[in-house]
Amino acid sequence: MNKFAIGCGGLLVILVFIIIVVGLALMGSYNRLVTLDQNVDKKWGDVQTVYQRRADLIPNLVNTVQGAANFEKSTLTDITNARASVGRVQLDPNKAPTDARQLEEFQAAQGQLSNALSRLLVVVERYPELKSNQNFLSLQAQLEGTENRISVERNNFNGAVQDFNVAVRRFPTNVIAGMFGFSSRPFFNAQAGAERAPTVNFNFGSPAPAASPAATASP
């Protein structure tokens, strides 16, 4: 009887040990998913910040160039409308989208603004009086820096999404992901021609340098 009790006690200890090990493993997997998920949201916030920075520069740019004699109003209208279309895409700045269609809409609106900005800068080259405008030159430096940051933050976001999606799909973490509602996040997949940040070139009379393609992660 004592031997039986000792045997049962031993099995119970082993069972408890196994449960503790499995529990710790599950807890570790869950915590890792939470960390990766939060990192995606942080990188999304960084993307939103640089895009907002660009949007904030647009009114100053428009106000500066519209002071040039006979500046093309249609170009200013296009960029103003494009900026407004970006504002109509309502996404949570603190939570990365889980719906690929929402991210596509965001990309499309930002792409429209990029194209309008590119057209504006091409038109500006026809107005020599802007070359010595200090406000315009200041905006030049700010826009160049912002466009570069947009490219960098998009890539950082895609890297964070890739790490998260790999964890969500890999066994046995995918079991925990399914239990707690973690699902794959969409990537920032640049549209045709949008893989390059718009070239912001203010060296009037010189050809615009080719922009380096912004590498995007793939699922």
Q: Give the domain extent around 39.
A: 2-180
pLDDT digits (tens, 9 = 90+) for 119-159: 887 887 788 777 778 888 788 788 888 989 999 999 999 99
d(CA 194, CA 68): 29
Domain containing residue 137: CATH number: 1.20.1440.20
**pLDDT of 37:** 94
Of the two residues 124 and 59, the one the predictor is more confident about is 59
**pLDDT of 173:** 86
Domain membership of residue 99 (yes or no) is yes
Domain membership of residue 147 (yes or no) is yes
Number of continuous H segments (helices) and E segments (strands) in the chain: 5, 0
Domain membership of residue 196 (yes or no) is no
65's CB contacts (< 8 A; 6+ apart) are 71, 76, 120, 124, 127, 130, 136
d(CA 124, CA 138): 15
28's CB contacts (< 8 A; 6+ apart) are none
pLDDT band at residue 219, thresholds of 50, 70 and 90? very low
Domain count, the chain: 1
d(CA 207, CA 210): 9
pLDDT digits (tens, 9 = 90+) for 181-212: 899 999 987 554 444 444 444 443 444 444 44
pLDDT band at residue 213, thresholds of 50, 70 and 90? very low
pLDDT digits (tens, 9 = 90+) for 12-55: 777 776 777 666 667 878 899 999 999 999 999 999 999 999 99
pTM, two decimal places: 0.75
